[in-house]
Amino acid sequence: MKLQVVILAAGQGTRMKSKLPKVLHPLAGKPFLEYVVDNALALNAHNTHVVVGHGAEVVKKHLDHYSVDWVEQTEQLGTGHAVAQALPAIEDDSVVLVLYGDVPLTSKETLEELLGQVSANSLALLTVNLSNPTGYGRIVRDERGCVQAIVEEKDASDEQRKISEGNTGILAVSGAKLKEWLPKLSSDNAQGEYYLTDTIAMAAADGMEVVAVSAKTEEEVQGINSRQQQAALERWFQLQQANALMVAGATLADPARVDIRGKVSTGQDVFIDVNAVFEGDVLLGNDVKIGPNVQIINSSIGDGVTIHANSVIENAEISADCQIGPYARLRPGTRLAENAKIGNFVEIKQADIGPGSKVNHLSYVGDAKLGRDVNIGAGTITCNYDGANKHLTDIGDGVFIGSNSALVAPIKVEAGATVGAGSTLSADVEAEALVVARSKARVIRDWKRPVKKPK
Ligand code: UD1
Ligand code: CA
């Protein structure tokens, strides 16, 4: 049977108190809704129907890189009504899996287990045992333990509210059955809504088996309605990721103080100090050491590299045994060959730094190519931008650039050349030469300093 996934994402998310539609708020840097759509893709859904209403245009725009079927629900009349909007595009003989745009962390394994329980004569329902079921629909079972109905909290009796088995909202059933049941829903209940949950009693009345599958954790079925719930789920998720790094052999100074917004893979004996933030795809080789307050975005860090405190690295490739920081900023297009050293208050952009080369203090190196064993003195600037275009600074092997030099690009400093401190250069320098481009000092002997006039 074909799998059709229906994702409900039309609600406003009033409690977020945000301009942004709730399902676009991030967990670990990625919108809630993307987790859910990614799950549908991972399950090889024949089609994914996303029901949108509040902020529909914004939601569609944010997810325009996905190929999904957008379904508009102009009025939010309830979860049953929302699913009904997607039905015209769904064949009778397909399995429909209902997911929620604000429930990001359901595991693929749990959903596969659920789908394993659906047939023409059975409905599969994902439930969860809760220490505090407040707010959830409750699973009502008969004396033999068969699921009979779901009763919403607001419609439940005191006795029913004591039930600790809650409805996650996630269920799977045949398209034919939904087409039969949904038109029969009534909104005669405490919230005046067409409840999807009322289909459970219809299934029981039809003599269908309702198979309850239990979620592995509360968090995997946790819906996010408020900023507090978002933060709580974020912390839980980050701790899972931190644990995975430790299982893979990394040492974390504090597993509660590392954030991964993407994917990090680590070699052996990596050490990560407190408050590291990783974004996108980050690769850390063997024996990498990361100091406190470091941010690394979409970069690969070679074996034996040390990154000192407060450094920011984005879209960079760092080879083995480099030293970076403290307070270094490596911007996109930075490539460090092995053993390079980038020190404090140095900014590198779109530059190849050769093996063993050093830029140790207070420099800007942008749009540049450095050979091996180059030494760039403190305060050196590559003047790469003429106000309209960027130009290359090309520095050969073994070049020594004295402190506080300005290299006006395009410029080439050939191998072995030495540039005297304080030089401003706008023409190429030949190999092995010394060039000094600074005004000569004037010495005025017996100079009398001005003295203060008496008042
Ligand atoms: C729903 C379930 C409840 C379950 C709980 C789990 C129903 C009637 N109740 O309650 O049993 O315990 O989820 O979190 O299904 N939505 C639409 N269109 C609508 C209404 C809702 O797209 O017309 C979307 C919302 O954006 C939200 C989701 O469906 O993402 C759930 O709706 P909500 O109103 O929050 O249901 P709950 O009251 O939480
Ligand atoms: Ca909800």
Tens of pLDDT along the chain (455 residues) come to: 899 999 999 998 999 999 999 999 999 999 999 999 999 999 999 999 999 999 999 999 999 999 999 999 999 999 999 999 999 999 999 999 999 999 999 999 999 999 999 999 999 999 999 999 999 999 999 999 999 999 999 999 999 999 999 999 999 999 999 999 999 999 999 999 999 999 999 999 999 999 999 999 999 999 999 999 999 999 999 999 999 999 999 999 999 999 999 999 999 999 999 999 999 999 999 999 999 999 999 999 999 999 999 999 999 999 999 999 999 999 999 999 999 999 999 999 999 999 999 999 999 999 999 999 999 999 999 999 999 999 999 999 999 999 999 999 999 999 999 999 999 999 999 999 999 999 999 999 999 999 999 99
Q: How far is the CA of 137 from the centre of ligand 1 (A)?
A: 10
pLDDT of 282: 98
Q: What is the C-alpha separation between 405 and 105, in angstroms, rounded?
A: 53
Topology of the domain covering 227-435 = UDP N-Acetylglucosamine Acyltransferase; domain 1 (2.160.10)
CATH numeric code, 3-216 = 3.90.550.10
Closest approach atom of ligand 1 to CA 52: 22
SS3 104: coil
**Ligand 1 atom nearest to 22, measured from its CA:** 26
361 assigned to active site: yes
pLDDT at residue 12, rounded to an integer? 86
- What's the CA-to-centroid distance between 22 and ligand 1, angstroms? 13
Name residue 421's amino acid: A
- Ligand 1 pocket mutation pick from 20, 72, 79 by most atoms within 8 angstroms of CB: 79
Q: Which atom of ligand 1 is nearest to the CA of 77?
A: 23
How do beta strands 411-413 and 393-395 pair?
parallel
Residues in contact with ligand 1 (CB, 6 Å cut-off)? 8-11, 51, 73, 76-79, 81-82, 100-102, 136-137, 150, 152, 166-169, 195-197, 223
* Active-site residue (options: 54, 62, 361, 391): 361
Which residues fall within 8 angstroms of residue 239, CB to CB, at 6 or more apart?
Answer: 255, 256
Nearest in space to 147 (alpha carbons), one of 215, 222, 94, 207: 207
Nearest protein CA to atom 36 of ligand 1, as residue = 79
- Ligand 1: atom nearest CA of 12 is 26
Q: Which residue's CA is the nearest one to ligand 1's atom 2?
A: 169
- Which protein residue has the closest C-alpha to ligand 1 atom 26? 11
C-alpha 94/C-alpha 434 separation (Å) is: 78
Closest listed ligand to the CA of 101: 1
CB of 320 within 8 A of CB of 336? no
Q: Which residue has the tokens 């070049």?
A: 399
Residue 185 DSSP symbol: -
- Cα distances (angstroms) measured from residue 29 to each of 18, 109, 110, 133, 234: 17, 23, 23, 29, 10
**Where do you find CATH 3.90.550.10 in the chain?**
3-216
Rounded-to-integer distance, Cα 112 and Cα 93, Å: 19
> Which of 7, 76, 6, 11 has its CA nearest to residue 226?
11
Which amino acid is located at 45 in the chain? A
Ligand positioned closest to the Cα atom of 167:
1
The residue contributing the CA closest to ligand 1 atom 27 is: 11
DSSP string, 377-441: -TT-EEE-B-SS-B--EEE-TT-EE-TT-EEESSEEE-TT-EE-TT-EE-S-B-TT-EE--SPPP
- Please name the amino acid found at residue 286: N
Token pair for residue 401? 């650039």
Which 3 state secondary structure label does DSSP give 166? strand
Burial readout 330-344 (b: 16 or more C-beta within 10 A, e: otherwise): bbebbbbbbbbbbbb
Under 8 Å CB-to-CB from 38, ≥6 apart: which residues?
Answer: none
Task: Report CA dihedral (311, 315, 320, 322) to the nearest 10 degrees.
Answer: -30
Nearest CA to ligand 1 atom 17: 10
